[in-house]
């Protein structure tokens, strides 16, 4: 593996960690969450999940 490949993999890992942290943050609901907020949050989470899945596929 070249230095550039190692660097690219490290960047992907950092991006993955960031996306996971963002997903965890947006999935925090409380009893005052409206349906619209819930729907928007789920939409964001699905978008992050797609990005995470793509990164995981690259890392394999």
Q: In the numeric block, which tokens belong to residue 51? A: 């990005």
Q: In the numeric block, which tokens belong to residue 28? A: 């925090």
The predicted pLDDT at position 52 comes to 84
DSSP one-letter code for 29: -
pLDDT digits (tens, 9 = 90+) for 9-39: 888 888 888 888 888 877 777 777 788 988 8
Model pTM score: 0.54
pLDDT tops 80 at residue 53 = yes
From the centroid of its chain, how far is CA 34?
23
């Amino acid at each position: 593996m070249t230095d550039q490949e190692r660097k690219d993999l490290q960047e992907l890992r950092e991006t993955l960690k960031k996306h996971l942290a963002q997903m965890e943050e947006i999935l925090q609901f409380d009893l005052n969450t409206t349906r619209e907020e819930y729907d928007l949050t789920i939409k964001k989470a699905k978008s992050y999940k797609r990005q995470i899945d793509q990164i995981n596929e690259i890392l394999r």
